[in-house]
Amino acid sequence: MDVVLKTSLKKRFPFRLATTSFIYPGTWADNVRRLALLVDEIELLFFESSPRSLPTRRDIGTLAQLGRDLEVGYNVHLPTDISLGDSSTCRRHEATERLIRLIDRCAPLTPSSFTLHLPIDGQPIGGAGLNLWQKRCGRGLQRILRGGLSSRLLAVETLTSPDFSSTLPLVADGDLSICLDMGHLLLRGQDPVKFYRKLRERIPIIHLHGVKNGRDHLGLESLNRARLDAIMAALDSFTGTVSLEVFSVDHLMTSLECMGLAQP
State residue 125's pLDDT score: 64
State residue 5's pLDDT score: 44
Name 216's Cβ contacts closer than 8 Å, sequence gap at least 6. 183, 184, 186, 187, 209, 210
State residue 1's pLDDT score: 36
Which residues is 243 bridged to in the sheet? Answer: 18, 207
State residue 163's pLDDT score: 85
Is residue 172 packed enough to be buried (19+ CB in 10 Å), middle (13-18) or exposed (0-12)? exposed
What spatial distance separates the first Cα and last Cα of the chain, rounded to whole Å? 28
pTM: 0.95
State residue 69's pLDDT score: 98
CB 81 within 8 A of CB 115: no
CA–CA separation, 140 and 96 (whole Å): 6
CA–CA separation, 114 and 101 (whole Å): 13
State residue 2's pLDDT score: 41
CA–CA separation, 50 and 46 (whole Å): 10
- Domains annotated for the chain, with CATH where assigned, are 2-261 (3.20.20.150)
Instruction: Please give the sequence-ordered ranges of beta strands (E in DSSP) within the chain, or none if there are none.
Output: 16-20, 41-45, 73-77, 114-116, 154-157, 177-181, 205-208, 210-212, 215-218, 241-244
pLDDT, block means (10 residues), the chain with 264 residues: 61 97 97 96 96 96 98 98 95 97 98 96 72 95 96 96 90 98 95 97 98 94 94 97 97 93 59
The string of DSSP codes covering 11-64 is T-SSSEEEEES-SSSS-HHHHHHHHTTT-SEEEEE----SGGGS--HHHHHHHH
DSSP letter, residue 115: E
Supply angle C-alpha 158, 166, 127, rounded to 5.
150
CB 220 within 8 A of CB 192: no
CB 243 within 8 A of CB 20: yes
CB burial of 156-165 (b: ≥16 within 10 Å; e: otherwise) equals bbbbeebebe
CB 178 within 8 A of CB 202: yes
CB 175 within 8 A of CB 152: yes
State residue 209's pLDDT score: 98
